[in-house]
Amino acid sequence: MTRLTRRQFVVGGAGVLAAAGGIYELVDRFASAPTRQAVRRLPEQHVLPGLRVVTDNHVEVLVPPLHNAVLTGRLTVGESGKGVRSAQDELESALAGLEEGLDHSPAGLGVTVAWGLPYFRRYVPGPAARNLPVDLRATEAAGRQVQALIDAVRFPSDPADVRLEENDVVFFFRGDRLEHVDLGIEAVRGLGGLLEPTSVRRGFAGGGFGGGQSLPKRMALAAGVPGAQLIPETAELFLGFTSTQKAGLGPLLIANHETLPGYTDQWPDGYFRGGTAMHLSHILEDVEAWYLNFDFQERIDTVFRPGERVPSGTQTVRQAPEDVSTAGRVVRDFHRSGGIGHSASIQPSSRLQADVTGRDGAQYPKGTAIPQRADFNTLDNPFAWTSRPEQDGWSPQPAAGVHFVVFNPTSDDFHRNRLAMDGRLPDGTRLPIDPRDRGQGINSVLRTTHRQNFLVPPRKHRSFPLAELL
Ligand code: HEM
């Protein structure tokens, strides 16, 4: 297979965005779409029904959509109330047109529209001040009002040059068919009068559950990523471990603003009830360093928990409620081994610490995961396309990475997870590990380049939220 550079596609193709599929068209040649059930549309935009469940190493694993794409943009609409309301109608009819005949599922197209603080500050400041969800837990901790959507920050293990983005809006498309995802990108591109795209991001996940060579393995080999030959044949992700086991992902409506009592003020009739907070970041992965500098046991210690014992070659390591690490256990493991595991260090912040009855009536036992991760691998460097190549450090050379997407009840809830990943636990414990030290979970082989927080409104308010209240 000849080594493919992005430039051959971008420069050669008809128009940058259209060509962005380029190397990603290989995905459809490498993997066929699994069969899926038809589904009804939910009030939530972020919940994607119809995911298949398989078992690996006696652990239930959710099969993620094969294709993913993200388009970020800055609005070009005038700030007058009239202008924003007609933009609201135009966007909603474009989205409804896009979804016609397409289920909100991997078999059809998952469509999620989310909005950044720049939009709320510039276009709907008044209604936003009265209606944006308030983060009750963070407000109590800070002694002043904290909203569920806050600006992204630089985390201790982030490089100094990480870009904290200022997009107004983001569109997240996912599905098993590339042409459906492309339809989504093109539909938004067609909204030239409303917004200017600032980036398109593409990627893939899975494809190895049937025992064949997985997508990350094939794509990395096709693009000539250093270390690609070291990736396990059927691995769901470049770094070799399954990251979508059912127990490790928030179930049902748990990431909605209103489901867990005490998180936000959206129950019972908040404007954003049925919505959630979304974090988007791009992370480069040093695949070669990961497999050459960490042997199998060290990789297990680093991704899961120091001292976790599993047969060599295991990819899915059970992280059921009974396996979850408390803050005390993370500290003990650290003093014994000098390091922390990615999952274990995050679990004191990402798992319920007690049984909870959700506002949705569901029983969520202690140890249930809260964040709903939807991250996917990529060869973007850092994006498939950007309106600011210099500023974004764009390169035509494919690079292994992750477009990290996660839904949490509030942005602060995500910040607690991300700080825990750096050894700063929610109980205030700060483990003395240098940022990006090899003992700091997988951070030493990761480099985040961009990040931003967004708010995902419920479906009925997904287009220019609050504009109708102007
Ligand atoms: C390239 C980057 C990353 C890779 C390869 C990665 C990989 C993984 C893997 C393999 C797991 C264990 C899977 C499981 O238990 O289901 C996991 C769990 C998790 N990761 Fe990451 N991760 C990455 C970045 C992040 C980031 C930036 C965050 C942000 C906080 C994050 C949050 C989580 C959470 C919340 C869990 C579940 C923990 C639990 O409740 O058990 N991950 N990740």
Residue 445 counted as domain residue: yes
User: Which of 245, 373, 415, 416 to mutate to test ligand 1, by most ligand atoms within 8 A of the CB atom?
Assistant: 373
Instruction: Calculate mean pLDDT across residues 428-453.
Output: 93
Question: 147 in ligand 1 pocket by Cβ < 6 Å?
Answer: no
For 203-216, what is each residue's pLDDT tens digit?
Answer: 999 878 888 899 99
Q: Is residue 100's pLDDT more than 60?
A: yes
- Local confidence band at 101 (pLDDT 50, 70, 90 cut-offs): confident
Contact 417, 408 (CB under 8 A): yes
Q: Which residues contact 215 (CB under 8 A, 6 or more apart)?
A: 27, 30, 31, 66, 204, 205, 206, 207, 208, 377
Residue pointed to by tokens 């094969």: 66
Question: 405 in ligand 1 pocket by Cβ < 6 Å?
Answer: no
The DSSP-derived string for 383-409 is: -SEES-HHHHT--SS---EEEEEEEES
Tell me what pLDDT residue 207 has: 79
Residue pointed to by tokens 């393995």: 217
Whole-angstrom CA distances from 225 to 229, 231, 288 are 9, 10, 9
For 39-84, what is each residue's pLDDT tens digit?
Answer: 568 999 999 999 999 999 999 999 999 999 999 999 999 988 889 9
Question: 155 in ligand 1 pocket by Cβ < 6 Å?
Answer: no
In terms of Cβ atoms closer than 10 Å to its own Cβ (0-12, 13-18, 19+), residue 60 is middle
The CA dihedral of 170, 127, 151, 73, to the nearest 10 degrees, is 20
Instruction: Calculate mean pLDDT across residues 409-425.
Output: 98
- Local confidence band at 25 (pLDDT 50, 70, 90 cut-offs): low
Q: Closest ligand 1 atom, CA of 247?
A: 16
- Local confidence band at 360 (pLDDT 50, 70, 90 cut-offs): very high
Q: Closest ligand 1 atom, CA of 304?
A: 12
Tell me what pLDDT residue 302 has: 96
How many domains is the chain built from?
1
The DSSP-derived string for 321-352 is: GGGPPPHHHHHHHHHHHS-B-HHHHHHHHHB-
Specify the residue with its C-alpha closest to ligand 1, atom 13: 243
Tell me what pLDDT residue 41 has: 82
- Local confidence band at 16 (pLDDT 50, 70, 90 cut-offs): very low
Question: 417 in ligand 1 pocket by Cβ < 6 Å?
Answer: yes
What single-letter DSSP state applies at residue 410? S
Distance separating alpha carbons of residues 348 and 44, to the nearest angstrom: 27
Question: 283 in ligand 1 pocket by Cβ < 6 Å?
Answer: yes
Specify the residue with its C-alpha closest to ligand 1, atom 15: 248
Nearest by Cα to 421 from 399, 405, 437, 403: 437
* Maximal CA-CA distance, the chain: 63
Question: 167 in ligand 1 pocket by Cβ < 6 Å?
Answer: no
Q: Which residue has the higher pLDDT, 459 or 1?
A: 459
Instruction: Calculate mean pLDDT across residues 137-160.
Output: 97
Specify the residue with its C-alpha closest to ligand 1, atom 9: 243
Instruction: Calculate mean pLDDT across residues 393-420.
Output: 98
Q: Closest ligand 1 atom, CA of 283?
A: 1
Considering only CA atoms, give the Rg of the chain. 21
Whole-angstrom CA distances from 309 to 56, 244, 247, 297 are 17, 20, 19, 8
Out of 203-212, 378-387, 389-398, least confident range: 203-212
Question: 402 in ligand 1 pocket by Cβ < 6 Å?
Answer: yes
Q: Which residue has the higher pLDDT, 20 or 174?
A: 174
Tell me what pLDDT residue 15 has: 43
Tokens of 162: 């990480």
User: Which of 300, 342, 452 to mutate to test ligand 1, by most ligand atoms within 8 A of the CB atom?
Assistant: 342
Residue 1 counted as domain residue: no
CA atoms within 13 A on the CB side of 124: 26
Q: What share of the chain has pLDDT > 90, as a percent?
A: 86
Question: 343 in ligand 1 pocket by Cβ < 6 Å?
Answer: yes
Tell me what pLDDT residue 79 has: 87
Specify the residue with its C-alpha closest to ligand 1, atom 12: 243
Q: What is the pTM of this model?
A: 0.93
CA angle 259, 328, 435 (to 5 degrees): 90
CA of 14 to the centre of ligand 1 (A): 37
Question: 371 in ligand 1 pocket by Cβ < 6 Å?
Answer: yes
Residue 418, domain extent? 6-469
Count CB-CB contacts under 10 A for residue 82: 9
Q: Closest ligand 1 atom, CA of 370?
A: 40
Specify the residue with its C-alpha closest to ligand 1, atom 14: 243
